[in-house]
Structure 1
């Protein structure tokens, strides 16, 4: 059999040469598409659950949130370990599965079991959510935003303005890149519309805090009114009532006394404010910045994701307001190329 193969190969040398060239070209193509990472990702199949409860002490977090969620997760198929951390205002539960478990199936059954756990949890403004589909090695790209003197901050301080741009513009742009699962915002201040109530004026007008809350909630809605047919055209009818500016908040009516309306501005000061924070991001220890970390989707090719991100940066920069700049300061592609280069050098030295 081998002799016949050799005989035919000698007779059809051109065909054999073409086959060798094709195999060589296919090998080069597959080598270029080979997924490369700086470190082997040996992270286990794990689904994180984040639950926030602002103002609650760790003891209450553990008793009212962490323990009920841990209890229902222990019975899931393929679960080998459930761990948790209870801190001030927040609980994190880690559900570990067997290595053979598909990560998306694991997240599906955890999400379904969360519906059971919700019935045992106390009411909260923010329900528990699943963490991103990533690992500890998923931080592949980092950036920060800067603003010069030409930027119009709309009356907000610079770091609040940049954080708002990062949360509502940059993050949504970068999340459209295939292979990106999450963008983590850091630094700056989270903008708040703060209503600083004067208790003496509330007492004067016989009002309570619940009256302010009800008034703001009921006056911050859009309403649909069907449509009107006029001639051959239909006109949509809708009421626009969403709060967009500070003045909208100030003019919300609370009650009427002897024909005179009492508004929020009569009992409180309405202004921009910042959410209380517990950290800061600085650049070279000299100035505060707003930064972001791009998390890679579990199982994606790091080099390809970074190439897509770099191609998207031009679109992101073009969408930013005047005076705001997007600055990249870390991407894992340099580490990957150096690691691969070291391996190639070692293989060549070994072959020699």
Structure 2
């Protein structure tokens, strides 16, 4: 019996160490998001040319329960919901397969991609970039987030995506003067075509000289605004080249944005949202992200700070602490009740030892079934502690009643007989009382959908 209890404790402890931890249960169905960008087009045009073809094509995918489309200016979102129990990565591969068949029906300049392999509760951490010194504007902070922090955090195991919010996306802005454009006989399309074609390198061959090889190439990538100003649009009638600076002004500015981020009422800021990958341990992912951010602080520009805005780790730790406090309080109360009413210290050891053992044993099926430890499951364990202890208190009290009045030098055989007799008297009542409690929970196992995932 001691070996069995030890094995149960070791198995429960191992399961508790490796079980997934999260604050709230995931109630969402397996879902794949298809995001399509077709900038500059009206919602009606995007709906007809992008959203409708995608929705009609994905409706025929296997195990698809529902397909919903949402269209806005220049963007389309298609939400493909699969049947309960469908593997998420199998679903993503099916969506990619159907996307390849419908791609030729979409506009050539419309780009589609899948959303992150995450669920509706994947938002586990958020931070903000703050420059209290005032040396960096929102565009520079957004560039730091997009090209430095975002890539570094995406490499953290368990992170599906790092989304950027707030600030300005920097871009080269060419402001054309219509009067000068007309004087040169040019159009907006001529300027746009020249700018687009100029931002590229041209490959060449190899030139051999003096037993050496030289790579021949034409360098044309734009590195500064002056490079754009010197782009040739076309030659005039006299052979003089017409440059971009002759008909327009070039500057670095912020792209048009549809939202903003503000921190504690102190003004706008740049924020990053860390989305956890499907099936990962939320607490472990948050800890890895925090360690990565701590390592990145030394590489930030002077005056720039990373401020934690939201972290689910606190809620998870509070849920675990609640269970710990419930265990400690239950053991103290049970010990005091047994000691005060039975005046026997050793009798209190049985329920005191069995309480943590029962809690550890409950983590074994959770781990084997892949059920994460959430507020619901931990709260259920804390509530069930009382029912676990009741049977032990009744058994201990029945044994004391049988041994009451017996001489101290009672033979061991007689003591064992009395204890067995006491157990036979109360065991049926204890068994059926616990059975009734267990049977009352059977309907919960028949729940499906969101209710089944919740309970």
How would you bin the TM-score normalised by the shorter chain? 0.7 to 0.9
2:177 maps to what in 1? 198
Distance across 1 between alignment mates of 2:213 and 2:315: 60
Distance across 1 between alignment mates of 2:134 and 2:47: 48
Please state if 1:329 is matched with 2:309: yes
Change (3 A) 1:57 1:215: closer
Change (3 A) 1:338 1:239: same
Query: 1:229 Cα deviation (Å)?
Result: 4.1
Query: 1:259 Cα deviation (Å)?
Result: 4.1
Query: 1:150 Cα deviation (Å)?
Result: 7.3
Give SS of 1:288's match.
coil
Please state if 1:90 is matched with 2:70: no
Please state if 1:43 is matched with 2:54: no
Change (3 A) 1:22 1:243: same
Query: 1:166 Cα deviation (Å)?
Result: 0.7
Distance across 1 between alignment mates of 2:302 and 2:213: 40
Change (3 A) 1:255 1:40: same
Distance across 1 between alignment mates of 2:113 and 2:188: 30
Select between 44-53 and 295-304 the one with higher mean Cα deviation: 44-53
CA contact (8 A) 1:38 1:340 kept: no
Distance across 1 between alignment mates of 2:76 and 2:192: 28
Distance across 1 between alignment mates of 2:229 and 2:223: 11
Query: 1:77 Cα deviation (Å)?
Result: 0.8
Structure of greater Rg: 2
Q: Out of 297, 311, 317, which is 2:297 matched to?
A: 317
CA contact (8 A) 1:177 1:309 kept: yes
Q: Out of 246, 250, 256, which is 1:276 matched to?
A: 256
Question: Which deviations, in whole Å up to 9, do the C-alpha atoms of 1:64-83 show, x marking residues without a partner?
Answer: 22111111111111111111
Query: 1:231 Cα deviation (Å)?
Result: 5.0
Query: 1:219 Cα deviation (Å)?
Result: 1.5
Distance across 1 between alignment mates of 2:38 and 2:100: 18
Give SS of 2:251's match.
strand
Q: Out of 99, 106, 115, which is 1:131 matched to?
A: 115
Question: Which deviations, in whole Å up to 9, do the C-alpha atoms of 1:256-311 show, x marking residues without a partner?
Answer: 33243221011001112222222221112221100011000011000111111111
Distance across 1 between alignment mates of 2:53 and 2:315: 42
Please state if 1:240 is matched with 2:219: yes
Please state if 1:140 is matched with 2:124: yes
TM-score (norm 2): 0.68
Please state if 1:178 is matched with 2:157: yes
Change (3 A) 1:321 1:236: farther
1:10 maps to what in 2? none
Distance across 1 between alignment mates of 2:163 and 2:155: 15
1:34 maps to what in 2? 19
Distance across 1 between alignment mates of 2:254 and 2:216: 37
Ranges in structure 2 where 5+ consecutive residues have no aligned partner:
331-384, 390-455
Select between 187-196 and 210-219 the one with higher mean Cα deviation: 210-219
CA contact (8 A) 1:150 1:322 kept: no
CA contact (8 A) 1:148 1:324 kept: yes
Change (3 A) 1:57 1:253: closer
Please state if 1:305 is matched with 2:285: yes
Q: Out of 213, 235, 240, which is 2:192 matched to?
A: 213
Query: 1:86 Cα deviation (Å)?
Result: 2.1
1:287 maps to what in 2? 267
Distance across 2 between alignment mates of 1:107 and 1:255: 48
Map 1:51-62 to 2 at 5 A: 51-62=36-47
1:163 maps to what in 2? 142
Query: 1:201 Cα deviation (Å)?
Result: 0.6
CA contact (8 A) 1:36 1:340 kept: no
1:9 maps to what in 2? none
Select between 256-265 and 96-105 the one with higher mean Cα deviation: 256-265
Higher strand share: 1
Select between 209-218 and 260-269 the one with higher mean Cα deviation: 209-218
Give SS of 1:63's match.
helix
Distance across 2 between alignment mates of 1:54 and 1:162: 24
CA contact (8 A) 1:37 1:302 kept: yes
Distance across 1 between alignment mates of 2:205 and 2:241: 31
TM-score (norm 1): 0.87
Ranges in structure 1 where 5+ consecutive residues have no aligned partner:
1-5, 7-15
Change (3 A) 1:315 1:239: farther
Map 1:95-110 to 2 at 5 A: 95-110=80-95
